[in-house]
Chain A
Amino acid sequence: MKVETTRIPKKYEDAVGHWVKHNFQDLPLLEKYWDKYFPSDDAYCLCAKLDLSTSQTQEVGDHKGEPKAEDPSQLTEEAAKHLLAIIRAQASTEFGSIQQHQVTLERSPSDQDKFWVLRVMAEELRHGYQMFHMLTSRNWEPLAGVKTEDMVEDVLAMETGSHVLEAFNLPYDSFVDNVVFSGIIDRVGKYQLTMQKVCAYRPFAQSMPPMLREEAFHLATGVVPMRRWLEAAAQGDAFITPEQIQKSLNKWVPRGLEMFGDERGGDTNVKLGFKDMKNRDAQSKYFDEVAKLLHDLNLRFLRARYVSKSPEDIEKMLATLLRERSTVEGTRYDEILKMPHRNFFRRRGEPSFLMVSVEGDPIADVEDYIRHLAQVLPAAYLASRDMAQYRDLVRKVASGEVTREDAAKKSPMMKRKADSVCPCAKGVRWVDTDGGAEKLPQIATNEGTTGAPTFHCP
């Protein structure tokens, strides 16, 4: 991988810096303690990174074998708009996850957990910055019909509740969500970035390998604490239990599955050469990977509880627990993590608004279904506006007042601020449209910019 680093024009960098002050207050803490928690790692760099070794030829789609586009002007209007929607969604996830993580970050049970998540947040910020590089380094305006400033503004104005994908509209209930989100939702990110490595728009394809490299640690930030918590729970710790982790999984896995888009879709992405897999195929691979992860977590739990048993006996015991759904040698079925059924608690896609249990059993009565949700989702999440809206909608679907298809189109919107988003009240926008036309050099320098985060590549 031959990587070039670059920065975005000053006025956009200033806007990101301003956004950080309001949404990511702990970033300076990471800078202060970087060497303590990540000794010998390269310094964090808030910059765009491009892998120059990326293929110059389209790898999939109708124009496979033809040169990739280097500029939006080489795309059709349809393709440009489609790609802009992907970039917007990607940018939304990056900034959105920081907003989610920040709220419960301070509740982390250990400093290591906290600084691992902080690093994840900082790298998500870099990924958001990367998407702004996509928007600001080339002129999309003739094709998109929207000014560059407004595209950046649109993303920075989003808050938890108004992001593009629902997984980024759910507030965290506790630090368990910080961890489970990293292990489950960031994993979808890995799949999306991997699919987009082939993108027919080369600057976007070039952005993926450096992002993927960072994403690998994000998944460990979820998986390692879950493994440690389960080990502690197996040995009697009653604070973070498998039941709590399971409830958080029940909250996030359905949203993760929906992040791939409707199971029946994805053809356009492949046809245009933007991704190399359709939605259903990618979602299936993801589902299998999460199932394997839960299998390994269960083994970790059981081996910590029965230290004298052989690995083979532990495998057999786990199989018995899952098959018989009953207590085996003192371990209860509900202490074992289970993959939520693909159709459980879905609001989008093929199974949207079907009433099935977390194990996939159909539930005929809507009130029984709501009571089931109350049993298997985190208590704090049940008392949310998101759940209140879902409950009302599923009742309407059950009574025939709303079809499943129409219900799926009603995305819960807890907040939507169209304007005046900066809490400073000095201005109504993050992006300053009056000044800051000066451009930074294309190669990153040490020069700081007013209001911008301080981390930059040397």
Chain B
Amino acid sequence: MAVEAPEITIRPLADVDIDAITRIDEKVTGIYRPDFWENRVAYYLRRDPEASRVAEQGGRVVGFMLADLRGGEFGLEETSGWIERFGVDPEARGKGIGRKLFDALAEHFKAAGANTLRTFVDTRQKETATFLEAVGFGPSALTALEQKL
């Protein structure tokens, strides 16, 4: 008899997610960087815990998306939802977790009055770029530039 997989639930970010997020990042990048994630989670919690979400399956965090609502940067006066970091546990991929996280955030930002979602992507990271395209991101008039020093 087939065993049904536990349902995936999406909830706001919490302080107790630091370890799980650090672990997902470690699985994806191979780098253990707890200090970095402690700082980022604390930052997003103080900004707005509901603007960042985690996905849980069977009581275990299997994905996260960290974002906030802000404006006034890069000459953009309009307040926009900015997605900075996201990740899905490699063992839990293929279940639409990224899409569920994104939909929850989009709904939150829309309710908060934002008309635009923004993010940056390293186009060399094909998987990330493909995901962002799949959830509806397209090219922006705002282009990321850099200069080596």
Binding site for B on A (CB under 8 A): 1-2, 38, 40-41, 119, 183, 213, 216-217, 219-220, 222-224, 227-228, 231, 289, 292-293, 296, 299-300, 303, 311
Contact = CB atoms under 8 A, between A and B. Distances in A.
Interface in B39-85: 41-42, 45-50, 70
Q: Pick the 5 closest A-B CB pairs, nearest first.
A: A216-B49, A296-B19, A217-B46, A219-B15, A220-B42
Interface string B1-42: 000000000001111101100010010000010110010011
A227 B16 contact: no
A38 B70 contact: no
B38 A227 contact: yes
Given A219-B45, A228-B35, 14 more contacts: A1-B111, A213-B48, A213-B49, A213-B50, A216-B12, A216-B15, A220-B15, A224-B15, A227-B18, A227-B38, A228-B38, A231-B34, A231-B35, A296-B16
Contacts of A217: 42, 45-46, 49
Nearest to A186: B15
- Chain A CB count within 10 A is highest, among B15, B18, B19, B112, for B15
Contacts of B16: 219, 223, 289, 292-293, 296
A293 B15 CA distance: 9
A227 B34 contact: yes
6 contacts: A40-B70, A217-B49, A223-B15, A296-B16, A296-B18, A311-B32
The A interface, classified by DSSP as helix, strand, loop or mixed, is helix
A303 B32 contact: yes
A228 B12 CA distance: 24
A194 B123 CA distance: 41
A293 B20 CA distance: 11
A38 B16 CA distance: 21
Contacts of A228: 35, 38
Contact of B14 (A2, A38, A219): A219
Nearest to A307: B32
A216 B18 contact: no
Given A1-B112, A303-B32, A311-B23, A224 B47 contact: no
B46 A299 contact: no
A220 B34 contact: no
B46 A41 contact: yes
Interface of B: 12-16, 18-19, 23, 26, 32, 34-35, 38, 41-42, 45-50, 70, 111-112
Contacts of B112: 1
Contacts of A119: 46
Contacts of B38: 224, 227-228
A213 B50 CA distance: 7
Nearest to A2: B111
Contacts of B41: 220
Contacts of B15: 183, 216, 219-220, 222-224, 293
Contacts of A41: 46-47
Contacts of A303: 32, 34
Contacts of B18: 223-224, 227, 296
A50 B46 CA distance: 19
Nearest to A225: B38
Given A41-B46, A213-B48, A311 B13 contact: no
Nearest to A227: B38
Contact of A224 (B14, B23, B32, B42): B42
A216 B41 CA distance: 10
A367 B54 CA distance: 48
Contacts of A1: 50, 111-112
A213 B26 CA distance: 28
Contacts of B111: 1-2
A41 B38 CA distance: 18
Nearest to A216: B49
- Chain A CB count within 10 A is highest, among B19, B23, B26, for B19
- Chain B CB count within 10 A is highest, among A183, A224, A228, A293, for A224
Contacts of A216: 12-15, 45-46, 49
Nearest to A53: B111
- Chain A CB count within 10 A is highest, among B35, B45, B70, B111, for B45
A28 to B, nearest CB: 20
B61 to A, nearest CB: 11
